Amino acid sequence: MTSYETLYKGSDDIFMPKYVSSGYDAGVNTLGMATDPRTAVQLNELNIKMNPGVRFMEVGAISQDVMDSIPKQHLEEIRRLAKNTGVSLSFHAPIIEASGIGQKGGWEEINRIGAERQIASTLERAHNLDPKGNINVTFHSTAQLPEMITKLKENEKADEKITGMLIINPETGKVHQIEYEKRYFPKEGEKGGEFTGKERSFELDEELNKINKETWTSQLSDINRQASNGQDVLNRVRKQYPISEELYKDIAKAKDTDKLKNIDKEIIKEIQRDVVHGQIYLRDAYSSLQRVFDRAYQTSNEEDKKRLKKYAEGITPLIKTGVDQDPQVLAEVVEKGVRVLNDLNETPKIWKRMNDFAIEQAAKTFGNAATTTWKKFHDSSPILSIENPPAGGGLSRAEDLKKVIEESRKVAIENLRKEGLSAGEAKEAAEKLIGATWDVGHINMIRKMGYSEKDVIKEAETIAPFVKHVHLSDNFGLDHTELPMGMGNVPLKEVMKKLGEKGFEGKKIVEAGNWWQHFAEKGGGNPFKPSLEGMNSPVYSMGPSAYWSQPPALGAYYSGHGLVNPPTHHRLYGAGFENLPVELGGEIPGDKGRFAGSPNQ
């Protein structure tokens, strides 16, 4: 059977390494492996993947339905196996959208609450794998959301350019995209500038303010139009039929009173129809005014809030039970309301940056879930590590991930203070409970957007103070390839140096799913050895006498691998354990060597 040694030699010269070393000298005892995320039989996966002597294993990265299929007893068996073999465990949670924003846009609080419960449940289940320690549990910052502020560079030396932004209306949950457009019209508020006819900068805050103004003006216009239509209908009726207001009310209510006996029935029907139409317009205006007032009061500054309060206090005596049947009062309340709302100093923030909103909601989810787990387990609570998804996804940059963690910790601190902890104790607990999982392969994908190796390293420097866990996978900056380190262009040495400067000493888990899926033996295999080669790990733990990245003809012979001692030799000539049945640990079916038995075998 073909193995990766046959497919990927790396060089025709046997004295050259098969993989280009990343230059990062990682000891075997600092590296771990991840299990296959496609199966619920994680116990068997753990058994297979730790055979090379791996000290750390990460269980999971499975989907929610697969996660729900794993019984508690299965997790307990994983814990026993890990304990008996001296393996330290971490856990990768299912991909859950913590913000509550749907994949196709739209937000609902019920979705966020559901995500919070899923995350809390996952933390509790992961605790079964290490009840006495603080097992690290990784969650993605977002699940399949696109990058909400699109950035790129035309080349590695060019300045960063923002080409668009997603915005959201939290009240309705609707999402809208702001796309780059050329701007020439003079910017509001600028002084001393002249119109040159040249394109000016495209600024996201300016575009967002413009949309908020347009939306606000449109809402006030709708209210004003509804009120005007109602007033016009009622004024026309009054002019045509000059009767008292009380009589109008009685006719509108279809009361059979003595006052109506002297009026022709057809006239009563006509007045009734027009008055009802006018009232309907005014009721719609009144209902719209209530919604707009509530939104404005939530988002206004203190000065505008005082003006809104004064208006509300003034109309309170007018809005009694049955006010919707009194067109005069409705008209007065709406007219005053539109005037006040139109004169606010600041336009209410109806639309928000979706990026900021996602951070705000995800932080609420992560902070609450971490607190829920702390209430049950206290000092042995799992660590909630938030991972950067592949670049191009939502909240995948270091600055965004940093904000999610900071805001999540604030939520946790507030919750823990309510549980009786002091400010210092709550801060210490929150910083222990919530941190980052930094995926070096995911962030390397910003290269397809024009960024350079230096930009990748800069991202690591930004997130370094928050990192508790690292995922290792290589790629060429173009796609989510997941290769062993050394096969792509991830600047691992420089990235780990930046993380180390901030004191990172956590687990480093190899995630090379694409490699073992396509190239390894039996469709699964183990990418641990090529990862050791790519990271120039020492062969022996007692000292750096030989490295896995050394030429196979010189060093790899003594470890039983390489061109000098290829596994194919044993398959052909029957030496060693290669020809044992698979059930007994062999690699090919059968119980005889190539030349055993008759010549036709």
Q: pLDDT (tens digit, 9 = 90+) per residue, 408-466?
A: 999 999 999 999 999 999 999 999 999 999 999 999 999 999 999 999 999 999 999 99
Distances (CA, A) of 522 to 40, 197, 512, 589: 19, 65, 16, 12
Report pLDDT digits (tens) over 116-174: 999 999 999 999 999 998 999 999 999 989 999 998 888 878 888 888 899 999 888 88
18-22, 538-542, 562-566: least confident range = 562-566
As a whole number, mean pLDDT of residues 394-416 equals 97
Closest CA to 78 of 51, 52, 41: 41
Structure tokens that stand for 551 in this block: 């030429």
SS3 23: coil
Give the CA dihedral 442, 444, 446, 452, nearest 10 degrees: 170
H/E segment holding residue 487: none
Closest CA to 199 of 215, 180, 217, 213: 180
Residue with tokens 């022996």: 540
pLDDT of residue 474: 92
Highest mean predicted confidence (pLDDT) among 149-158, 271-280, 284-293, 428-437: 428-437
Decide which of 233 and 595 is more confident.
233
* Per-residue burial over 109-127, b = 16 or more CB atoms within 10 Å of its CB, e = otherwise: eebbeebbebbbbbbbbbb
pLDDT of residue 249: 66
Residue with tokens 């900056």: 477
As a whole number, mean pLDDT of residues 3-12 equals 40
What is the dihedral sign for C-alpha 488, 489, 490, 494? positive
241-245, 366-370, 450-454: least confident range = 241-245
Structure tokens that stand for 71 in this block: 């019984």
pLDDT of residue 288: 92
Say if residue 563's pLDDT is above 60: no
pLDDT of residue 106: 80
- Cα–Cα dist 58/34, whole Å: 5
DSSP string, 148-202: SEEEE-SSTTSPPEEEEEEEEETTTTEEEEEE---B-SPPTT--S----SSPBP-
Say if residue 235's pLDDT is above 80: yes
pLDDT confidence of 555, banded at 50, 70, 90? very low
Say if residue 582's pLDDT is above 70: no
Residue spans in the chain of domains classed CATH 3.20.20.150: 22-146+353-543
Quickly count helices (H) and strands (E) in the chain: 19, 12
37-51, 67-81, 450-464: least confident range = 37-51
- Cα–Cα dist 348/371, whole Å: 33
- Cα–Cα dist 539/509, whole Å: 19
As a whole number, mean pLDDT of residues 255-280 equals 70
pLDDT of residue 440: 95
Percent of the chain with pLDDT over 90: 41
pLDDT of residue 19: 43
pLDDT of residue 116: 97
- DSSP β-bridge partners for residue 138: 92, 385
Distances (CA, A) of 284 to 215, 230, 233: 18, 9, 14
pLDDT of residue 457: 96
- Cα–Cα dist 574/557, whole Å: 18
Instruction: Name the burial class of residue 199, with classes exposed (0-12), middle (13-18) and buried (19+) by CB atoms within 10 angstroms of its CB.
Output: exposed
Structure tokens that stand for 129 in this block: 């794998």
As a whole number, mean pLDDT of residues 78-84 equals 90
Closest CA to 367 of 403, 426, 417, 413: 413
Percent of the chain with pLDDT over 70: 77
- Cα–Cα dist 496/441, whole Å: 13
pLDDT of residue 561: 41
Q: What is the pTM of this model?
A: 0.79
SS3 518: helix
φ and ψ at 361, to 5 degrees? -75, -40
Length of the chain: 601
pLDDT of residue 14: 39
Report pLDDT digits (tens) over 176-232: 999 888 877 877 765 556 777 887 777 888 889 999 999 999 999 999 999 898 888
As a whole number, mean pLDDT of residues 530-550 equals 65
As a whole number, mean pLDDT of residues 517-545 equals 63
Superfamily of 22-146+353-543 according to CATH: Divalent-metal-dependent TIM barrel enzymes (3.20.20.150)
pLDDT confidence of 565, banded at 50, 70, 90? very low
Beta carbons of 574 and 597 less than 8 angstroms apart: no
pLDDT of residue 103: 65
Structure tokens that stand for 365 in this block: 């989810």
SS3 600: coil
Distances (CA, A) of 465 to 351, 382, 435, 499, 503: 32, 19, 9, 8, 8
> Which residues make Cβ contacts (< 8 Å) with residue 547, sequence separation at least 6?
25, 536, 537, 538, 539, 555
φ and ψ at 42, to 5 degrees? -70, -25
Please state, rounded to an integer, the average pLDDT across all residues of the chain: 81
Closest CA to 130 of 444, 377, 420: 377
φ and ψ at 555, to 5 degrees? -105, -35
Measured CA angle at 421 (ends 417, 426), to 5 deg: 70
CA max distance for the chain = 123
- Which spans in 316-465 are helix H? 327-342, 354-377, 398-418, 423-433, 440-444, 453-463
Side chain identity at residue 319, one-letter code: I
pLDDT confidence of 48, banded at 50, 70, 90? confident
